[in-house]
Amino acid sequence: MVQTTFFRIRRGPHRLASLLLYCGIITALLLGIASAQDRRGASAPLGAPMAVVGTRGMVVAQERLAAEVGRDVLAKGGNAVDAAVATGFAMAVTYPRAGNIGGGGFMLIHRAGGDDVAIDYRETAPAAATRDMFLGADGKPDNAKSRDSALGIGVPGTVAGLTLALEKYGSGKFSLAELLQPAIALARDGFVVSDDLADTLPDWHRRLTRWPSTARVLARPDGGPYREGDRLVQADLAVTLEAIAAQGARGFYDGPVADRLARAVQDAGGLITTEDLRSYQALIRTPLRGSYRGYDIVAMPLPSSAGPVLIESLNILEGLPLRDAPQGSAQSLHWLIEAMKRGYADRARYLGDPAFVDAPLSRLLDKDFAAKQRASIHADRATPATEMLPPPREGDNTTHFSVVDAQGNAVSNTTTLNFSYGVGLIAEGTGVLLNNELDDFTAAPGAANAFGLVGFEANLPGPGKRPLSSMAPTIVLKDGKVLLVTGSPGGSRIISAVLQVMVNVLDYQMDVAAAVAAPRVHHQWQPDEVRVERGFDPAVLGALQSKGHQIVTPLGQTSANSILMTAQGPRGAPDPRTRGAAAAAE
């Protein structure tokens, strides 16, 4: 038997009514229980969705059809990696604004028995990239070059990453072709447009249809955006997926598909060549390891900044009496904000592609360094960002899914095109929607990317470089076994979202659904402001302001689709902020 829970909030054409409905649902989910005085604290969500429980495994993703594809693989005896690969390729069809084969990402794998593996399939800059490629004639950053033009397209890594994961860590029960069949069928036969796709295609219609090759796929025959109830068929994408099924990664990075991809990028003014595609490699890396209050933290290494920032932030928090302050209280949020601020400042100062930058990770992740950071936190006032100003030399959509199987294996996978629908260009004849991921580089020292993240020399563009990322697939272990699998989309907000889910579960012992639904705050060092979601007690926000924190709303969307292991089995919690799905195999 299988069980799927799908959280769906309509917007459609009735925007005002839909917005009110959305706000009402989110408010109901996130309002604090003012009378609660236990460790869950004052902002434990009221009416939070119940987690879905499974016995033979769980997939939690942002799109229902893809989650069910992965669930079916688990139900047939596949392991977590098998299910993740099937889910990832299906997401490229059914969730095109972030699921992809034209982008990249990170996969974190825990194998029963204690082995942990990180797969880096981040996009790379083409060989012709230069450090000043996103500057205008005046020598200043030209945002249009990195965000709206084909110059922002990085060499895609998703196909290499998913195929490598299956080859090295799959169960051996399924071939790549078998795992690709559901995605091929969804692309070839089509599926009914609903929910997120129906909501976002109208919003992004003008950006997408500026490219004729994209308009032919993602616009109706009458030229308008697809609407709820329409059937979306992606015949060219089906052919590309069939080439991958038949030839593996070579079917994408070499031969006719690669030729079409390179030609489309170059015709649009980009730099990618067939040699860039042919030479791309996904990399197996050693995960970062940390500890927090008796739990083991397994996180992505560079070029993900998330692992270093998460572990540094947790190290700072570990020496604070967080549990003595109710969850969601001004004191607990003050400590979280100050820890985030320091972690994000060091992100800007030190981090980049490890093939090009020697980041001082041993110092940043050291408990003694955290103690010095912690000692600089003032109990009653915010630390100005300028006091942590780093010297110059010293993404909007992503998607995350979590998978566990009955054997104790787990996958935390985050993948992205950067903006929703990436740069918007579908390479003619391939069905592949391409990324604008190179905007994650720093155009010039001290400049900010589309998410406001400031960077310096360590993250300037260069040939073959992988831009620094905030993607944060994370696994928490207890006594060597999986306890929590989490991650999120949301650009610069990803790391802070994951940090708060972890603190809610590990410090406040919240149920995973409540931990995911609880309102969030975010501080990324620059700009020096705290972004908050609706749902906090105004008195709490007032207390933060009295400490000198500048409060700004709204925060912006994150979606921390998570799984918590319990005695009853895995409990899957889709984030109620989006229309995620938990698909359980029983």
Contact between 180 and 174 (Cβ < 8 Å):
no
Q: Is 469 annotated as a binding residue?
A: yes
CA 239 distance to own-chain centroid: 27
- Closest listed residue to residue 339, CA positions, set 137, 187, 503, 557: 503
Beta pairing, strands 410-418 & 474-478: unpaired
Q: Is 418 annotated as a binding residue?
A: yes
Q: Is 376 annotated as a binding residue?
A: no
Helix (H) or strand (E) holding 363: helix 361-364
Both structure tokens of 306: 């998330």
The DSSP secondary-structure symbol of 23 reads H
Contact between 346 and 312 (Cβ < 8 Å):
yes
Query: Which string of b and e fits 49-61 if b means at least 16 CB within 10 Å?
Result: bebbbbebbbbbb
Q: Is 100 annotated as a binding residue?
A: no
- What contacts 357, CB < 8 A, 6 or more positions away? 302, 350, 351, 458, 459
d(CA 95, CA 420): 10
d(CA 6, CA 381): 42
Distances (CA, A) of 517 to 43, 58, 559: 10, 19, 9
d(CA 391, CA 31): 41
Contact between 165 and 85 (Cβ < 8 Å):
yes
DSSP per residue, 109-127? EEETTTEEEEEEE--B--T
In the numeric block, the tokens 């590309």 are attached to 240
Is 87 a catalytic site residue?
no
Spot the catalytic one: 398, 430, 474, 558. 398
Q: Is 416 annotated as a binding residue?
A: yes
Q: Is 466 annotated as a binding residue?
A: no
Helix (H) or strand (E) holding 61: strand 57-61
- What contacts 221, CB < 8 A, 6 or more positions away? none
Q: Is 116 annotated as a binding residue?
A: no
Instruction: Specify binding-site residues.
Output: 122, 416-418, 440, 469-470, 491
Instruction: Specify binding-site residues for L-glutamate.
Output: 122, 416-418, 440, 469-470, 491
Q: Which residues are catalytic?
A: 398
